[in-house]
């Protein structure tokens, strides 16, 4: 009898710990760094207003109503990094602009709702939805195009949720040489860095 109790006690002590439900890492540590980009020639974009730490106050842009809404939605903080290549878009192959974003929410439910709102916003703006494949716990992908100076410029967005963090990778460049594969490659690289 004593041996059975001792065995149960040992087994209970060795039981696997429950999986974490939130990622507590600073979002600045979750975005892609310049050295992680698998494409040559990129540099950190200088003076990009959307880059760096994106507090709720910064996201609200001075609007108390927007700040209140962000807080009600469970957003806590975020970080965005933007990288560019100095090339002629008409002759560029692959991305010319890469943006990597991580936004933390209080709970995975808040993050799930945020991902849904973002997807609805992209669809509402007329972007075309694509298959995001297997990235994170839930993912969406969209593309859009515009023309300027006889070049069709494309943007691909992959956005996904990992627990309470909503991530995004955006790539932009010449539509003739750019496809979703670039954004998915970067999204999978960024996802590897998310260790709760």
Structural contact between residues 45 and 83, judged by C-beta atoms closer than 8 angstroms = yes
Backbone angles phi, psi at 119, to 5 degrees: -65, -40
pLDDT at 17: 60
Question: 3-state SS of 60-82?
Answer: HCCCHHHHHHHHHCCEEEEEEEE
133 in a domain, yes or no?
Answer: yes
> Collapsing DSSP states into helix, strand and coil, what is residue 86?
coil
pLDDT band at 10; cut points 50, 70, 90: very low
Q: Average per-residue pLDDT in the chain?
A: 89
pLDDT tens digit sequence for 88-115: 888 889 999 999 999 999 999 999 999 9
3 in a domain, yes or no?
Answer: no
The predicted model gives 20-40 an average pLDDT of 91
Distance CA 29, CA 158 (A): 19
Give the residue numbers spanning the domain of 111: 21-192
136 in a domain, yes or no?
Answer: yes
Rounded to two decimals, the pTM is 0.86
12 in a domain, yes or no?
Answer: no
First to last CA, the chain: 40
CATH number at residue 123: 3.40.1000.70
15 in a domain, yes or no?
Answer: no
109 in a domain, yes or no?
Answer: yes
14 in a domain, yes or no?
Answer: no
Q: Among 58-62, 67-71, 97-101, where is mean pLDDT lowest?
A: 58-62
pLDDT at 8: 43
Per the structure, the count of domains in the chain is 1
């Amino acid at each position: 009898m004593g041996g059975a109790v001792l065995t149960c006690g040992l087994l209970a002590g060795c039981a696997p710990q429950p999986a974490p439900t939130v990622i507590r890492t600073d979002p600045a540590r979750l975005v892609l760094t310049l050295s992680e980009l698998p494409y040559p020639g990129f540099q950190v974009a200088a003076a990009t207003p959307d880059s760096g730490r994106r507090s709720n106050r910064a996201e609200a842009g001075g609007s108390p109503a927007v700040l209140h809404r962000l807080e009600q939605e469970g957003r806590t903080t975020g970080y965005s990094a933007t990288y560019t290549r100095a090339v002629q878009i008409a002759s560029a192959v692959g991305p010319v602009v890469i943006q990597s974003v991580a936004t933390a929410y209080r709970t995975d439910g808040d993050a799930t709702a945020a991902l849904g709102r973002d997807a609805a916003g992209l669809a509402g703006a007329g972007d075309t939805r694509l298959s995001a494949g297997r990235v994170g716990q839930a993912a969406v992908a969209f593309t859009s195009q515009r023309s300027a100076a006889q070049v069709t410029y494309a943007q691909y967005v992959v956005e996904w949720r990992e627990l309470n963090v909503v991530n995004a990778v955006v790539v932009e460049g010449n539509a003739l040489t750019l496809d979703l594969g670039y954004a998915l490659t970067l999204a999978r690289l960024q996802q590897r860095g998310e260790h709760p």
